[in-house]
Amino acid sequence: MIFVLLFDLHLRAMLSKYKYHIWLHIIVLIFGFTGILGKLISVDSYLLVWYRVGIALIAILGYFAITKHSLKVDMKQLRYILLTGVVIAVHWVTFFEAIKQSNVSVALVCFSSSTLFTSLIEPLYFKRKVKLYEIIFGLVIIIGLYFIFSFEFKYLVGVILSVVSAALASWFTVLNGILIKETNAKTISFYELLGAFVVVSVYLFVTTKADVSRFVLSGEDLKWLIILGTICTAFAFIVSVEVMKKISPYTVTISVNLEPIYSIILALLIWPESETMSFGFYMGTIIVIATIFLNALFKNRFSKEKKVLQ
């Protein structure tokens, strides 16, 4: 009996100590599930993003009402935040379309190339030199993508769309790095979602000629979209903001890099026939993901050296 009690106390202490790390991995797993939902939902990518953002906005507004979070923001900042939301909208549309044009595994691995684009875009905005190791890792990622492209040529459109989505994701991440200096993270995210919702709404209004019947969903699609909008968007966003207050950026970066691995494993379990890929694909995947982890290790090492010098 005493051993059971001691084990229970030890388990409680461990869970308390690593509570935020556990939540971080849950969030990454949820992000990984986003790709799975993209394949399960049958509507086109624009309508998928429109419903996702709309549902997420309603959920977040409910959260803000409960927590009495202020939505006040500087009007000049608001313009830039809404424009960033447009970038996010195009990123999501290209991401989900990449899944529909290929599969979850191809889209997620190619999307991992965002590390390469961040290393090129970030220096332009933060006025710093591109580091040599970033260029080398970028070239290695290109080699990995070449492996994937060579062995999975039938998924060419999906590969291109996923890489475009990765570039856009890197762009808005860097823009958020600038915006966060002057505005609350939760407020930024809300208005970015609002900007995304507005631009997709305008596109759908023009292309569908305001035909309401085009917005009708099947019960199955509605179910997955509610999960995508509430759990994978609103909930994941709120918890990730809280988690990042308690955990180092390095730990967050390493954990987020597990997203494509989680997605590929989930996809293989759900659709073993369509998600089982060639040997070349897995070689390319190993190259890309290993490079991303090495990039995170190097960034952590150089940041520590910088602190020591200061």
Count, residues in the chain: 310
- What CA–CA distance (Å, rounded) separates 121 from 187? 24
DSSP summary character for residue 217: -
For the stretch 152-163, pLDDT in tens is 778 889 989 999
The answer to whether residues 115 and 295 touch, using CB atoms and an 8 Å cutoff, is yes
In the predicted model, is pLDDT for residue 309 greater than 60?
A: no
Please tell me the predicted confidence (pLDDT) of residue 17: 57
> What pLDDT is recorded for position 191?
93
pLDDT at 75: 86
| Alpha-carbon torsion (157, 160, 162, 168), positive or negative | negative
What are the residue ranges spanned by the domains of the chain? Answer: 41-73+183-242, 77-182+251-303
pLDDT mean over 17-25:
75
pLDDT in tens, 120-179: 788 888 777 777 777 787 788 888 877 777 777 788 899 899 999 989 988 888 888 788
205, HSE (Cβ side, Cα atoms, 13 Å): 6
What are the b/e assignments for 238-268, b being 16+ CB within 10 Å?
Answer: bbbeebbeeeeeebbbbbbbbbbbbbbebbe
Per-residue confidence (pLDDT) for residue 196, from 0 to 100:
94
Mean of per-residue pLDDT scores for the chain:
81
pLDDT per residue as tens digits for the range 23-36: 888 888 888 888 89
Q: Which band of pLDDT confidence, cut at 50, 70 and 90, is reported for residue 6?
A: very low
CB-count exposure of residue 25 (10 Å: 0-12, 13-18, 19+): middle
237 CB contacts (<8 Å, ≥6 apart)?
Answer: 56, 60, 189
Higher pLDDT, 145 or 253: 145
Mean of pLDDT values over 255-274: 79
Which residue in this structure is represented by tokens 């290109």?
142
Q: Is the pLDDT higher at 265 or at 254?
A: 265
Is the pLDDT reported for residue 87 higher than 90?
yes
List, in sequence order, the alpha helices (H) in 127-248.
132-151, 156-179, 185-208, 219-229, 236-243
Confidence bin at 305 (pLDDT 50/70/90): low
Q: Is 175 helix (H, G, I), strand (E, B) or coil?
A: helix
Q: What local confidence, expressed as pLDDT, does residue 303 receive?
A: 61
